[in-house]
C-alpha cells in the first residue's frame, strides 16, 4: 500500500473511540499506508445515552470544524506522494 494515504473516522457512544482510531491507524501504517497529520477523527456521544450520530439534527461544531482539516491534510499528502513517488516503493 506504499504511496497510498489513509484516514480513520469513528463514531460511537462510549469511550474507546480514540483508542480505536489509534489501533486502526497503527494497522494501516503496518501495511504501508501513509497517514496525514490529524488523520483521525471521532465523535463520541454521552456515555450511557441512546443518541446515535445518525440521529443528530446537525453535525456538532467540533466535528464540522475538524473534518475539513483532515480532508485537506489527506489531499495535500496524496498530491505530494503522487508528485514525488518513493523510489523504493
52-64 pLDDT per residue, tens = 888 889 988 888 8
In 3D space, the residue among 13, 12, 65, 75 whose CA is nearest the CA of residue 39 turns out to be 75
pTM (global) more than 0.85? no
Tell me the sheet residues that pair with 10. Answer: 42
Dist CA 69 CA 67 (whole Å): 5
Centre a 10 Å sphere on the Cβ of residue 1 and count the other Cβ atoms it contains: 13
The list of the chain residues with pLDDT below 70 reads: 13-15, 89
Predicted pLDDT of residue 89: 58
Predicted pLDDT of residue 24: 97
Amino acid at each position: 500500500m506504499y504511496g497510498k494515504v489513509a484516514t480513520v473516522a469513528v463514531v460511537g457512544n462510549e469511550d474507546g473511540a480514540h483508542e480505536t482510531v489509534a489501533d486502526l491507524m497503527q494497522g494501516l501504517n503496518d501495511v504501508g499506508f501513509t497517514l496525514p497529520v490529524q488523520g483521525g477523527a471521532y465523535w463520541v456521544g454521552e456515555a450511557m445515552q441512546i443518541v446515535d450520530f445518525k440521529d443528530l439534527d446537525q453535525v456538532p461544531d467540533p466535528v464540522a470544524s475538524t473534518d475539513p482539516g483532515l480532508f485537506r491534510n489527506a489531499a495535500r499528502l496524496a498530491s505530494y506522494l503522487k508528485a514525488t513517488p518513493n523510489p523504493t516503493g
